């Protein structure tokens, strides 16, 4: 009898040990495989990184942006990443090096580019003798328009980003100053990139910046005003200057008093005191609600690593304020107060209006192909939210066309093509410099591209500095 008890104990003990073994095998192989891959003590992914090629990253026309180059022969052969277009696509593409890690598209789509799928599938493939197969990535990036945007910025710190309103594809993503991913490989080059004056060159102004939006934010305020039913384009509001809001005077540009004007004319001429009144009438809750609909207070769902994307909204000390924080809603309505935004967010605002009020997920990647050029996966268009109704979007479209045709955005006009837009000029450094903006879309009657342009620390204004850049990029894309 005692012998049987001992055997049973041994049996159940062995079963328990096998259960623990199965549990931890499943845990590391299936549920925590990603954490194991990222663990710095795990050198297997790093060794595999240099022993096997990664898939190429290509422009929308098929030109190489990133590729793996083989060095050595036989068992000593290794692969290194090279970036043929250098600085031109540095920020969106990022880099991938064993010593440095990865950023940008290289990191976000690492599994596809390296051919590494789910751990269980990889083990099964190994048992069946199948080889790992990397995939190449075709992006939506347009080399010609990207070059045009970089040249138009002319070395000035700033950003240009373009979104296709209906699909969410991103053909242009330029952040200046940029960086050459090839320089990241060496210690000296990497150190130099990290030690630039002010913000380092590795900082992406398209998706990580926090800039005051100035009057471009009036597009969000106008959207809320029209969609909520509180206002129509023909609604009359007094535009005298100055007016007092929250115990402080607000003035129009040049302190011009416009008298009683329509909401359309107030946007065309960017009349601050009108939009301050609109903001107060809408109230804090309505303004914050529409900001959230447009994507504020959340990181944009773009296909980049989370630490390379920042949320827009009201900030204090670099941190987003809770959405129930008391605000000076009149100044929020004109893009002031503690409001900061990324160019990616403001391009999303323009794209949403252009798309009949529907916001879609922006994405840089378009499709993935195997080594024979066969399409394995297409990045689909994902609708995020119907932000405003189609009628309100159509009304705002026409109002933004008036900004370009008759108002502050005239420098963005194109011959034979209707352009819709809004300029913005926010004072920085105590009024010693400006943050110049332009957001818009073209053709306005059949929108194909929406844009956000911003230039840092300029003495010019949105209409004179940022709008011409938008015009040049639109020309390149529509050519």
Round the average pLDDT of the chain to a whole number and report it. 90
Q: Is the pLDDT of residue 73 over 50?
A: yes
pLDDT (tens digit per residue) in 296-341: 999 999 999 999 999 999 999 889 999 889 999 999 999 999 999 9
Collect all residues with Cβ–Cβ distance below 8 Å to 397 and sequence separation of at least 6. Answer: 353, 354, 420, 444, 447
420-449 mean pLDDT: 95
40 confidence band (pLDDT: 50, 70, 90) = very low
Q: Is the pLDDT of residue 178 over 80?
A: yes
- Smallest CA-to-CA distance from 264 within 42, 125, 420, 157 is with 420
pLDDT (tens digit per residue) in 383-425: 989 999 999 999 999 999 999 999 999 999 999 999 999 999 9
Q: What is the pLDDT of residue 71?
A: 84
Least confident of 181-195, 382-396, 438-452: 181-195
Q: Is the pLDDT of residue 92 over 60?
A: yes
> Is there a contact between 256 and 411 (Cβ–Cβ < 8 Å)?
no
52 confidence band (pLDDT: 50, 70, 90) = confident
Least confident of 38-52, 62-76, 235-249, 308-322: 38-52
Gap between the Cα atoms of 108 and 366, Å rounded: 14
Domains observed in the chain:
143-179+198-364+380-478 (3.40.710.10)
Q: Is the pLDDT of residue 4 over 80?
A: no
130-158 mean pLDDT: 93
CA 438 to chain centre: 16
pLDDT (tens digit per residue) in 7-35: 777 777 777 777 777 666 656 555 555 55
Q: What is the pLDDT of residue 32?
A: 59
How many angstroms separate the Cα of 287 from the Cα of each of 218, 244, 323, 404? 11, 19, 10, 25
Q: Is the pLDDT of residue 78 over 90?
A: no
435 confidence band (pLDDT: 50, 70, 90) = very high
Sign of the CA dihedral with 309 first, then 314, 319, and 322 last:
negative
Q: Is the pLDDT of residue 191 over 80?
A: yes
Collect all residues with Cβ–Cβ distance below 8 Å to 171 and sequence separation of at least 6. Answer: 60, 140, 141, 142, 145, 146, 162, 164, 449, 477
Least confident of 107-116, 159-168, 266-275, 413-422: 107-116
């Amino acid at each position: 009898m005692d012998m049987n008890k001992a055997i049973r104990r041994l049996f159940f003990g062995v079963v328990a040990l096998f259960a623990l073994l199965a549990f931890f095998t499943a845990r590391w192989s299936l549920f925590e495989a990603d954490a194991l891959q990222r663990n710095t003590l795990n050198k297997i992914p790093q060794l595999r990184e240099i022993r096997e090629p990664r898939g190429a990253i290509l422009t929308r026309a098929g030109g190489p942006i990133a590729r793996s180059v083989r060095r050595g022969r036989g068992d000593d052969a290794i692969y290194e990443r090279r970036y043929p277009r250098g600085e031109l696509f540095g920020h969106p593409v990022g880099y991938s090096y064993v010593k440095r890690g990865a950023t940008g598209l290289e990191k976000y789509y690492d599994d596809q580019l390296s051919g590494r799928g789910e751990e269980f599938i990889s083990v099964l493939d190994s048992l069946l003798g199948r080889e790992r197969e990397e995939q190449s990535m075709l992006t939506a990036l347009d080399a010609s328009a990207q070059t045009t945007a970089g040249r138009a910025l002319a070395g000035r710190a700033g950003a240009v980003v373009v979104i296709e309103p209906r699909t969410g594809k991103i053909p242009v993503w330029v952040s200046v100053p940029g960086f050459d991913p090839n320089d990241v490989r060496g210690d000296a080059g990497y150190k130099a990139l990290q030690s630039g004056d002010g913000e380092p060159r590795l900082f992406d102004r398209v998706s990580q910046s926090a800039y005051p939006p100035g009057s471009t934010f009036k597009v969000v305020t106008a959207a809320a005003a029209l969609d909520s039913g509180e206002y129509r384009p023909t609604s009359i509001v007094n535009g005298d200057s100055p007016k007092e809001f929250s115990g402080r005077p607000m003035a129009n540009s040049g302190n011009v008093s416009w008298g009683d004007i329509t909401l359309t004319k107030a946007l065309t001429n960017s009349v601050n005191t009108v939009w301050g009144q609109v903001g107060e009438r809408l109230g804090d809750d309505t303004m914050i609600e529409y900001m959230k609909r447009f994507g504020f207070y959340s990181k944009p769902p773009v296909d980049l690593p989370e630490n390379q994307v920042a949320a827009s909204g009201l900030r204090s000390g670099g941190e987003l304020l809770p959405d129930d924080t008391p605000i000076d809603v009149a100044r929020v309505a004109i893009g002031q107060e503690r409001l900061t935004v990324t160019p990616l967010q403001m391009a999303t605002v323009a794209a949403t209006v252009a798309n009949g009020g529907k916001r879609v997920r922006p994405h840089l990647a378009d499709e993935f192909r195997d080594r024979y050029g066969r399409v394995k996966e297409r990045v689909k268009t994902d609708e995020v939210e119907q932000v405003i109704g189609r009628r309100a979007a159509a009304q705002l479209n026409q109002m933004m066309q008036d900004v370009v045709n008759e108002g502050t955005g005239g420098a963005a006009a194109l011959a034979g093509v209707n352009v819709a837009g809004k300029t913005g000029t926010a004072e920085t450094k105590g009024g010693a410099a400006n943050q110049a903006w332009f957001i818009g879309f073209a053709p306005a009657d059949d929108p194909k591209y929406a844009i956000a342009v911003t230039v840092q620390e300029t003495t010019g204004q949105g209409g004179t500095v940022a709008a011409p850049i938008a015009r040049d990029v639109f020309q390149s894309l529509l050519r």
